[in-house]
């Protein structure tokens, strides 16, 4: 029998390349976006269980490698000085997202505390995962002593509901929010060459990628990204257990930003597109691990608790954003950073076709990593007093 890795890895690479090619070939496919097509295909694969059970290890490995490689390449072409102008809005948006998570989870707790065992511990895990990400959820399971069966059910519903939520964010989220929130105002570019460069560096434009003057420099950017990822992994390995993911993301983000100040790296054409291709690979791999059929299975209040935590927090955040006049893109990317963690920021930024919010999203996500465990333990304890 052929080892799973021998055919599964090429499948993800070739299928993702085919999706990118078709999106560049057909406008109707490009209007949806390569990332969303990849996510949809992945959900079909996962829901129909087309791959053998042992595939999940390889799928995890692909998703864990793709994003650390992609993030530096996505940052190489960014202008840090322009992002600083967005810092105030980003901070306000982070506060609205934080308030949305706390309020929605508290509401869900009081609605379902009688039907869910150890509902306060579930609330603690959800508040951790929706401000920091999956690493916080695992950490809080241990910290709060959550039953294995309850944890697995919570994580399963989290994966399925968040898959639907992510697809909505990337497909109609921006258009719907534009009815109540202002549009993102892109910062002005000071010179014509910079404008030309940005036009060439659109998210969905791979035209001329295989030309010699584009392909080899882009491949060189992949090599630089690999070095940055290796440094990040080394830093992660020597860091404390509870901060490994924070160290990894912070290291590759910092080094990627640092490299963007080097003109030769900053001006590499198509490095951004190569990074976005890896995000498509990531989207296909991560979605193929979910089973959307779980949405239709019989369950108790736990499903609805998770549903309220995800969608309720976003509704509350949107209402607060409307009061503070925070734009739609910043609201979406902040929610993404909290609910899904930094690796998903480039995924959603790609769907929004707005690379200016990437640094903002990653910054918010890193802060979420840092506060998620503290929030989870505190909220669990406070809500537990009401039982």
Across 92-101, 256-265, 359-368, the highest mean pLDDT is recorded for 92-101
Residue 109 has a pLDDT of: 96
Query: What's the whole-number mean pLDDT along residues 273-277?
Result: 89
**pLDDT tens profile 102-129:** 999 999 999 999 888 889 999 999 998 8
**pLDDT tens profile 191-208:** 443 333 344 345 557 878
Q: At what angle do helices 212-237 and 271-287 cross, to 10 degrees?
A: 60
Q: Give the phi and the psi of residue 271 in degrees, each rounded to 5.
A: -65, -35
User: How many CA atoms lie less than 13 Å away from 338 in the CB half-sphere?
Assistant: 31
Task: Band the pLDDT of 230: cuts 50, 70, 90.
Answer: very high
357 secondary structure, DSSP code:
G
**Domain residue ranges of the chain, discontinuous segments joined by +:** 64-280+293-384
Q: Is the pLDDT of residue 60 over 90?
A: no
**pLDDT tens profile 4-29:** 767 899 999 999 999 999 988 888 88
Contact 355, 203 (CB under 8 A): yes
Contact 339, 83 (CB under 8 A): no
Residue 288 has a pLDDT of: 86
Task: Band the pLDDT of 297: cuts 50, 70, 90.
Answer: low
Residue 200 has a pLDDT of: 39
**pLDDT tens profile 341-381:** 777 888 888 888 888 888 888 888 878 877 888 899 899 99
Residue 295 has a pLDDT of: 56
Q: Is the pLDDT of residue 144 over 90?
A: no
Q: Is the pLDDT of residue 169 over 80?
A: yes
Return the higher-pLDDT residue of 245 and 258: 258
Query: What's the whole-number mean pLDDT along residues 233-261?
Result: 84
DSSP assignment of 299-314 equals: --HHHHHHHIIIIIHH
Q: Is the pLDDT of residue 222 over 90?
A: yes
Residue 265 has a pLDDT of: 92
Q: Is the pTM of this model over 0.75?
A: no
Nearest CA-CA partner of 245 in 253, 257, 254, 236: 236
Average pLDDT, the chain: 84
Residue 214 has a pLDDT of: 87
Task: Band the pLDDT of 75: cuts 50, 70, 90.
Answer: confident
Give the number of other Cβ atoms within 10 Å of residue 354's Cβ: 20
Residue 35 has a pLDDT of: 78
Residue 198 has a pLDDT of: 41
- What is the percent of the chain with per-residue pLDDT over 90, rounded to a whole number? 35
Give the number of other Cβ atoms within 10 Å of residue 366's Cβ: 18
Query: What's the whole-number mean pLDDT along residues 147-161?
Result: 81
Residue 344 has a pLDDT of: 82
Q: Where are the alpha helices (DSSP H) in the chain?
A: 4-25, 27-30, 34-48, 55-76, 80-84, 87-112, 119-129, 134-144, 148-168, 174-177, 192-200, 212-237, 244-260, 263-266, 271-287, 301-307, 313-324, 328-340, 345-352, 358-384
Query: What's the whole-number mean pLDDT along residues 161-182?
Result: 91
At residue 292's C-alpha, the angle toward residues 288 and 295, to 5°, is 160
Q: At what angle do helices 328-340 and 313-324 cross, to 10 degrees?
A: 150
């Amino acid at each position: 029998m052929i080892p799973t890795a021998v055919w599964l890895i090429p499948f993800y690479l070739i299928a993702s390349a085919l999706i990118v090619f078709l999106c560049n070939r057909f406008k109707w496919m490009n209007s949806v976006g390569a990332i969303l097509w990849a996510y949809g295909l992945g959900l079909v694969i996962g829901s129909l269980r087309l791959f053998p059970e042992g595939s999940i290890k390889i799928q995890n490995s692909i998703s864990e490698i793709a994003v650390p490689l992609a993030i530096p390449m996505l940052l190489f072409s960014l202008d840090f000085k322009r992002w600083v102008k967005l810092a105030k809005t980003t901070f306000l948006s982070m506060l609205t997202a934080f308030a949305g998570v706390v309020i929605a989870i508290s509401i869900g707790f009081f609605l379902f505390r009688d039907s869910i065992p150890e509902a306060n511990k579930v609330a603690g895990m959800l508040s951790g995962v929706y401000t920091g990400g999956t690493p916080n959820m695992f950490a809080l399971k241990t910290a709060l002593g959550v039953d294995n069966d309850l944890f697995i059910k919570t994580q399963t519903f989290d994966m399925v509901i968040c898959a639907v939520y992510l697809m909505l964010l990337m497909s109609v989220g921006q258009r719907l929010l534009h009815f109540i929130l202002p549009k993102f105002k892109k910062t002005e570019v000071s010179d014509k060459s910079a404008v030309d460069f940005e036009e060439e560096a659109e998210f969905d434009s791979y035209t001329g990628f295989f030309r010699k003057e584009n392909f080899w420099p882009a491949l060189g950017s992949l090599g630089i990204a690999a070095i940055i990822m290796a440094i990040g992994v080394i830093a992660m390995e020597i860091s404390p257990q509870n901060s490994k993911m924070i160290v990894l993301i912070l290291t590759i983000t910092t080094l990627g930003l640092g490299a963007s100040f080097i003109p030769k790296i900053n001006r590499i054409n198509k490095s951004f597109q190569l990074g976005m291709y890896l995000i498509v690979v990531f989207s296909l791999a991560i979605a193929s691990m979910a089973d959307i059929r779980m949405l239709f299975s019989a369950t108790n209040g736990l499903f609805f608790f998770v549903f309220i935590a995800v969608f309720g927090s976003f509704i509350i955040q949107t209402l607060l954003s409307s009061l503070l006049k925070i734009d739609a893109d910043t609201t979406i990317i902040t929610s993404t950073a909290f609910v899904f963690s930094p690796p998903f920021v480039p995924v959603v930024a790609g769907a929004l076709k707005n690379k200016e919010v990437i640094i903002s999203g990653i910054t918010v996500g890193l802060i979420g990593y840092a506060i998620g465990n503290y929030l989870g333990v505190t909220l669990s304890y406070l809500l537990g007093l009401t039982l």
